[in-house]
Amino acid sequence: MLERGLRHVPIASLAPEISRRTVTLMSPNKAFNIPAAGCAWAIIENAALRHAFSIEVTAHVLHSPSVFGYVAALAAYTGGEEWLAAEVDYLRANRDFLEKEIDLPMAHVEATYLAWIDCSLLGVADPHAHFLAYGVALSPGTQFGDPRFVRLNFGTQRARLKQALERIRSASRPSPRG
């Protein structure tokens, strides 16, 4: 969570009737920046739902994490608290910097390092292609259901974020007429 004082509350923890019909997926992969570890788990109270989930996992997902995945998860959860706190502070600062400096409407995010930027005021048909022409690759909003938006990953070095913002500003300026 990027916002101080907020905490993640799994929906299944709200009431027994909710936990009986939900699947809770958890992993240290994003928080601790270890996606290659491939260690995740599901918490499924309902036996029928757990069985259906197991069938899908068996058909479409690796069956179990590697030894590396277990060791990485164990290390993250037993010794990574200080590192994680510093990472969250850094991401919060990047988010705040981005919100202050970007010249486009952006959703305020509380629990992610992915910014959702509204490009509808630019008047371009394809914001992703438009920004790409200026040397900044953003995830196209079409992948997430809205072609007017782009997604920017601000979980990066501040210098790289500043460079991306400079290019976004250049791409956002009105074209000279003539």
Claim to verify: residue 130 and residue 75 sit in the same structural domain: no
In terms of phi and psi (left: phi > 0; alpha: psi -120 to 50; beta: otherwise), the region of 145 is left
- How high does pLDDT run on average in the chain? 93
Q: Are residues 104 and 146 in the same domain?
A: yes
Same-domain pairing of 134 and 75: no
On whether the CB atoms of residues 91 and 2 are closer than 8 A, the answer is: yes
Residue that has been written with the tokens 């499924």 in this structure: 44
> How many degrees, rounded to 5, is the angle at CA 60 between CA 59 and CA 65?
105
Q: Over pLDDT 70: what percentage of the chain?
A: 97
Residue 15 lies in a domain: yes
Are 94 and 68 in the same domain? no
> In this structure, are 92 and 63 located in the same domain?
no
The torsion of the CA quartet 23, 24, 26, 31, rounded to 10 degrees, works out to: 130
Same domain flag for 96 and 155: yes
Instruction: Please identify, among 79, 95, 112, the residue that sits at the C-terminal boundary of a domain.
Output: 79
pLDDT in tens, 96-123: 999 999 999 999 999 999 999 999 999 9
* 16 & 67 share domain: yes
Q: What is the pTM of this model?
A: 0.85
**Which of the 8 DSSP states describes residue 177?**
P
Are 155 and 89 within one domain? yes
Does residue 178 surpass a pLDDT of 50? Answer: no
* Amino acid in the structure at residue 145: G
d(CA 35, CA 132): 26
* Structural domain that includes position 142: 82-172
Give pLDDT tens digits for 18-62: 999 999 999 999 899 898 888 889 999 999 999 999 999 989 887
Q: How many domains does the chain have?
A: 2
Residue 35's pLDDT is 86
